[in-house]
Chains A and B, each alone.
Chain A
Amino acid sequence: AQKVTQAQTEISVVEKEDVTLDCVYETRDTTYYLFWYKQPPSGELVFLIRRNSFDEQNEISGRYSWNFQKSTSSFNFTITASQVVDSAVYFCALSDNAGNMLTFGGGTRLMVKP
């Protein structure tokens, strides 16, 4: 069975601080996909990134960066110079090779204070 753990349920930072959201996963599949989604108060889940299990390159997109380490089964997400608009709940998710269903972590609520 697949499992995703986001140990941090809530994080509070002051604007411009860097923050890292942790994600640890469990799967027996050799091919799988990892995702991060953002859920603002409006409720919609916004896709941020997808990585497959064969691509361990770190990725940077503006203020966002992701660190995928297969050896520790982790896929961590860092926001650099956080802004108030980053306040949301962030979910890490895992799918099998077919991508037919996502297993979500419990989410991390990020609060960025001005």
Chain B
Amino acid sequence: KAGVTQTPRYLIKTRGQQVTLSCSPISGHRSVSWYQQTPGQGLQFLFEYFSETQRNKGNFPGRFSGRQFSNSRSEMNVSTLELGDSALYLCASSFTTLNSPLHFGNGTRLTVT
């Protein structure tokens, strides 16, 4: 079974630009979550989608948004990029978050210059 796939693996953007990251969950998994990992703040929850609906959102500004498609694939978007948005963005999927562990992808490393 293929794991969680995130594309691209690396991105370099400049301040003020916007970026879209993609995540394909494990086949059959309907829940997709996004996390941001930085050296200073560690791993922080961004949001979680289930059946195309955002169920939970972390404490991030509105510049961070996401969506989920009918095939469970998910995208997250960051607009008006800031230097502090440089991070590893990890996507995780689960069959359902209730009593199911999350399976993570390799992440997308975003560098904002």
Contacts and interface: CB of A to CB of B under 8 A. Distances in A.
Chain A partners chain B: yes
B43 A100 contact: no
A85 interface: no
Contacts of A35: 101
Interface stretch (A22-30, A40-48, A60-68, A73-81): A40-48
Interface residues of A, number: 23
Interface residues of B, number: 26
A91 interface: yes
A105 B41 CA distance: 10
Interface stretch (B15-23, B62-70, B78-86, B102-110): B102-110
A47 B100 CA distance: 11
Contacts of A99: 97-100
Contact of A102 (B99, B102, B107): B102
A106 B109 CA distance: 19
A103 interface: yes
Given A47-B101, A50-B101, A102 B45 contact: yes
Interface in B31-78: 33, 35, 42-45, 48, 55-56, 58
Contact of B103 (A47, A91, A100): A47
Interface of A: 33, 35, 37, 42-47, 50, 52, 91, 93, 98-107
